[in-house]
Chain A
């Protein structure tokens, strides 16, 4: 076996160099790298099974994700019988039939006044470790295995606004693959209604909080709690108490963080992407909203190598053979050698911070002078020891408040580092271990100088998990003035993001916007352009196949003409021909069958045209 083998596998798996790595029409592409290896070099059986299982997860996902059926792609394959799925012999402890049997803490419902309620679904998605397709920080060339296999099927914890599980909450970019941040102060309860939209049983197992057996979220003999393994399509409400031992002790910083993750079987669900964290603040050192009073901004970073070999898991029971793909895999003439297997394993590693590699994680931004708190985590396997290192600034760590610029992380380590962002500029943040650096375990951390515009992207809220950060629609800018295309007409320019199902067939679906009583209706085409007489919408992140992936639709919306001016005037937003001082435009956007509301200050159009 020589080098040619490796190159062959990579070359075969990579159709083009563009962003279009994976399209919905070709669902198994996430596993193409492995398929090709199978075909060309006859590799192990489990890989094949997993390729198939990804298909099935996808098909089930398509079914589960269809609220109205209109926007979503038709299911291409028959899903598995949802309640029938067993995994390593694990019988779900909660199923669709049993209904949500959770919601209690040691047998009683927690005091609603002390409880923060979250709605979280586990959903499959195609996760791209490097969506930009290049390294924007160091300009390094990607290793061939990453180029060949940049995206793969993952399962993520997705936050919804309410029990209807119809509107996803926009997640801060800097969290990457991480699930929603759950937060509270010592003494409060967290209630999490968990909906499993995947085929296999999943759970939520928290660190650091107090729970009864039902809310442990971990499956083991002899008597797993009801929350141990939530079956496909089933719901369960976990209740976790943040007691005194959950919060920081007197000599610790004012808040601390704990991991949560799925724990039906073991580590593989973490590798699937089912991870997030909880922040507990000491109420005597908290603002009224529960954020730590001595901190201006929070960051979270998980250092974990994702293993994209699927080799560790066979997600489906042997007795329940899944549907074979259309393109059957030839029989395996020879078993792979140990070296071949090890080589493949190594090539499938993704050295990620929050699930992104080679500087593709964005949103680590702060303003000069801010007190920034970093919650730092490690997770994974033997190779997952990491040393997080910041350039440009130092941190203080631990109860002894030791100054440093390196924090050591092992799997399931949870640490906290405080920094004053006093050195404006763009700085490197990376793992200091040789191979990890080389394989892309770094991101950029930007400190905006005083006087510069507010920290870059207003979509990045300073604190995680706040009720006011539960947006499903964000208007990033709202400007009124001459139309950019036709200056003789006045127009309202809106730039924003709205959460949508993942994936969304955006081309041809409705995009409706309301200001006051006046609606704008358009149907974006495959280029994302939807025009009508009095406006145009551009879906900025539409893909060539007309889909939007990742659960967020970015749009530019221009509403122009006299009738919109009238509508704005009716709302009291204009004074003369200019926006009234402190005018706030309220907008509703309906897409994929859900209506989202947001408001934003209305500004006069900048000369350059803004965003």
Chain B
């Protein structure tokens, strides 16, 4: 009963979180938070490395916002891998409010980058080669001061991102609505030594108060490659694909806390969530029931996207974080790995803040289990499937097949995996283009009243959002396939199917050279732009002829 109440209250709390996302109206600060070192009024006072801006030619710039998000630890609602029944405390309490690092395409902070599914709750991967700089413009869209504290890279006090009494740098605590550009150098000691594998990873996380912010979801990682063993784009040249896995138990008890937005305006809720009203043992029990034994923030096989092709050399970046229960032994079925370039095993030990590298050759096709080998952790859902696809496999949902993290080309905000042309030569008015795609949107996004448009060449089609998910317009129809029954898209990715009708589209395709004399040219591609609210997304799609 008590848990049920708490679940309801958290849901209530979630509503204020929605508002907190708007930087213009940050929630009032709780007195317990540290005093921010950077406020909105100050503007971005960062961007320097020991007093001078880094060489732009050697700098990779990332735009990262911290945003509240209702995070579902098991979006499938079931255990699709082992078929275990989900524990009742999880069923009751599958989602809770988290704050995540979200990557944007540019300084406008309007178009979110599509993140590979396999990263789960993790923030964007920041990457570079030894000798380069990472400039990270951080915008705090949450209700409390936050920061970005990196491991493994070189920084001055301002870019440390950690609070310290008296001597805190400017990046130590960024106020709600404020932004700050951290500059981190990938110096000699950031990269792998000659005996180490060609790339290595370091954690980054928020570090204003301590561990709370990691538990909120504010963690990600940095990959540093040895330039002597890198491709021109900075990826390690002896690797075909990268995976990242954080083994961490999330503590969803209100006692730990701050997962809930400010409850000051809901005194009743606040008092229910307050630890004062519980005995120590009740508190303990609640804490235990609300542990989420997660890999990248997903439990019971709900982490998806750990896909690879047979024969690929796959590098796993492995991390631990958390509390006293967080010692983990990551184990893979169906494969063996070489840890840190030396030690052959299929188990890697992880403690909080450990970062390890393990290399695998995906030589056995099939779907295999990856899990923590610690007894309770396994029982409580710390496992995920990974799939090795045999050569020539098709028909899988590998839409976000990005082998490497954090590259400029993976900064897509719109993806069109399928674009089909239906030509009606008898009556061109009956011709149409069918698109299937994903585009990033604010989280959550209500469809009612939202405006969309799709543009190909000079032709533009506008759609008006509808609670049912069917958005219609004079030029066609756009169906949102992942809207909730309330007409809201959660999780920041809008999936859609669009049909563009009429002969004008065919004319545009002819103008673009994709169609010649009513026949598709070889490798016909069409550039496409999509407007969602203020954000403009662009992509190009491979055009195919619809099968009969």
Contacts and interface: CB of A to CB of B under 8 A. Distances in A.
Does B bind A?
Answer: yes
Contact of A434 (B157, B163, B211, B277): B211
B56 interface: no
Contact of A394 (B152, B156, B277, B322): B152
Given A3-B276, A392-B160, A435-B324, A401 B351 contact: no
Contacts of A428: 162, 164
B279 A2 contact: yes
Contacts, number: 114
Interface in A425-450: 425-428, 432-438, 444
A402 interface: yes
B189 A394 contact: yes
B151 A387 contact: no
A385 interface: yes
B11 interface: no
A408 B354 contact: yes
Interface stretch (B92-100, B190-198, B396-404, B540-548): B190-198
Residue in A383, A389, A435 whose Cβ sees the most chain B Cβ within 10 Å = A435
A236 B324 CA distance: 40
Interface string A383-420: 10101010110101000111111101000000000000
Contact of A437 (B164, B190, B210, B355): B210
Nearest to B151: A405
Contact of A3 (B202, B214, B278): B278
Interface string B208-228: 001100110000000000000
B324 A394 contact: no
Contact of B324 (A3, A406, A408, A434): A434
A434 B352 contact: yes
A343 interface: yes
Interface in B272-301: 275-281, 284
A437 B213 CA distance: 12
Interface residues of A, number: 41
A423 B327 CA distance: 31
B160 A438 contact: no
A431 B152 CA distance: 16
A423 B281 CA distance: 46
B280 A425 contact: no
A389 B353 contact: yes
Nearest to A438: B210
A434 B210 contact: yes
Interface stretch (A130-138, A192-200, A368-376, A529-537): A130-138
Interface size class of B (residues with CB under 8 A): 35 or more
B351 A408 contact: yes
A437 B211 contact: yes
A483 B485 CA distance: 85
B359 interface: no
A392 B193 CA distance: 19
A6 B280 contact: yes
Contacts of A113: none
Contact of A426 (B164, B196, B200): B164
B211 A438 contact: yes
Interface in B319-351: 321-324, 326-327, 340, 342, 351
A404 B152 contact: yes
A2 B277 CA distance: 8
A339 interface: yes
A1 interface: yes
A385 B354 CA distance: 12
Given A385-B327, A433-B326, A426 B167 contact: yes
B324 A138 contact: no
A383 B152 CA distance: 26
Residue in A342, A425, A428, A433 whose Cβ sees the most chain B Cβ within 10 Å = A433
A1 B354 contact: no
A343 B280 contact: yes
B281 A339 contact: yes
Given A401-B193, A426-B167, A434-B323, A387 B152 contact: no
Contacts of A394: 152, 189-190
Contacts of B154: 423
Contacts of A408: 351, 354
A405 B327 CA distance: 18
B165 interface: yes
In the A-B complex, list the 4 residue pairs whose CB atoms are closest, starting with the nearest: A434-B211, A432-B353, A434-B323, A339-B281
Given A403-B193, A427-B160, 10 more contacts: A139-B165, A389-B353, A392-B155, A394-B152, A401-B195, A402-B193, A405-B151, A432-B353, A434-B323, A434-B324
Interface of B: 149, 151-152, 154-157, 160, 162-165, 167, 189-193, 195-196, 200, 202, 210-211, 214-215, 275-281, 284, 321-324, 326-327, 340, 342, 351-355
17 contacts: A2-B279, A6-B280, A137-B165, A138-B210, A383-B324, A394-B190, A401-B195, A403-B192, A408-B351, A425-B156, A426-B167, A427-B160, A428-B162, A433-B322, A433-B324, A436-B324, A437-B210
